[in-house]
Structure 1
């Protein structure tokens, strides 16, 4: 450091900057990208943090996701949010690392055949309906099945999604979730109710969510919005206020 101060006095600030450039290890591209990205601080309310990390998402959807998670598990480290009010041609899945205040994924995601074509409009908890389900899920273990690497989901809302495990509603990769499929058909392919993602990101995305993390799926369904225990949880309001 004393040699650097001598250099500054002798040659001026421009040569000192050059000296630092030559003697300091190169910064990674990830570090530089994070340095130019506004950070959401851990002390900020959860809904505000989610909105800052995902400005493309509907703030009301993120507010509801934050309320549900704050009610279920305020110490959760990861949260995925799906906004089924958007068409399948849009990236409507976000995966947040809450512990590090980072957006990990912003991706395409499918809905069930029984829920609609490009737009999902019908949702169900009924086996063999091939419809997607709404509400809050807890993630379980990952496994290799007929759809490749997959993630089991536990529905937490009685009568809304609590038959997800019985219905084999899992997150998995699928070749019908791609931009090329959209260009051919005007929409994504559809599942039997599973939130399928691009095959290329299935493994890292599932690994980021497995083992007791959370998934929140949204659609402006009046009955669910009015009756969900996680959306009307007084504890959730209190926890949000304290965050």
Structure 2
């Protein structure tokens, strides 16, 4: 009797192992193709082949970003997707605050199709500095920018027109974004004026040119990652993601 039971258990175990053998290890870890965060549907890595370290460098070169942003900036941003897990993986927004505001430093990148969808100007908080922001804050009414990783959420029409809410994902760094009403929105002042030494600044929001803001927001909304890059030591020391 005991012998018969052991034979049955062995047969069932063999069958289970055989059925799992048809999947790669990544597929086994990603059998559930999606998960929900609030009312946002978020795809996991089964819908997108996340690049290895070497592939990130290859992707950086393929996107022709060499003269647009440092590799470290791109690497930190893309690596954040893998670490955070709870964001869509197809499109990422990278804001490079190591660059002058007179240069394009707001990038929307389609990782799946390997395309740069938008490359444009972006404003930073008026109390964060002149052309290059160097002073950051998470405090309400600081009128400063906050670096780090954000998840985009829903859109709304407000004081600045069509806008996109941001959820700061780094505690003590940018997690008061909602309380501060830090959003992506359009501004007629987000393009350099002839002879200007710096771009006009915001109250802390990453404001972009009004003529493309609606299109950009519609591409990056609903659970995608937005990363604001800085080399400031205070952020690098505090962040648990980069």
TM-score (norm 1): 0.73
Q: Give the distance between the partners of 2:166 and 2:230, measured in 1 at CA.
A: 18
Superposed, 1:71-110 pairs within 5 Å as: 71-73=83-85, 76-110=89-123
Q: Give the distance between the partners of 1:48 and 1:230, measured in 2 at CA.
A: 22
The answer to whether structure 1 residue 61 and structure 2 residue 73 are counterparts is yes
Query: Where is the strand percentage greater, Structure 1 or Structure 2?
Result: 2
- Which of 152, 159, 179 aligns to 1:166? It is 179
Cα deviations across residues 7-50 of structure 1 (Å, max 9, x unaligned)? xxxxxxxxxxxxxxxxxxxxxxxxxxxxxxxxxx9766235313
Q: Which consecutive aligned stretches of 4+ in structure 1 deviate over 4 angstroms post-superposition? A: 41-44
Structure 1: gaps (5+ residues) = 1-40, 232-243
Offset, 1:75 = 5.3
Q: Give the distance between the partners of 1:51 and 1:94, measured in 2 at CA.
A: 15
Offset, 1:63 = 1.1
- Aligned position for 2:168: 155
TM-score (norm 2): 0.74
Pairwise CA RMSD? 1.7
Residues 136-145 or 98-107, more deviating = 98-107
Bigger RCO (CA 8 Å, 6+ sep): 1
Offset, 1:77 = 1.3
How many residue pairs get aligned? The number is: 189
Q: Relative to 1, partners in 2 of residues 1:51 and 1:135: Cα closer, same or farther, differing over 3 Å?
A: farther
- Which of 50, 53, 58 aligns to 1:48? It is 58
Superposed, 1:125-140 pairs within 5 Å as: 125-140=138-153
Report the secondary structure of 1:164's partner residue. coil
Q: Give the distance between the partners of 1:147 and 1:134, measured in 2 at CA.
A: 22
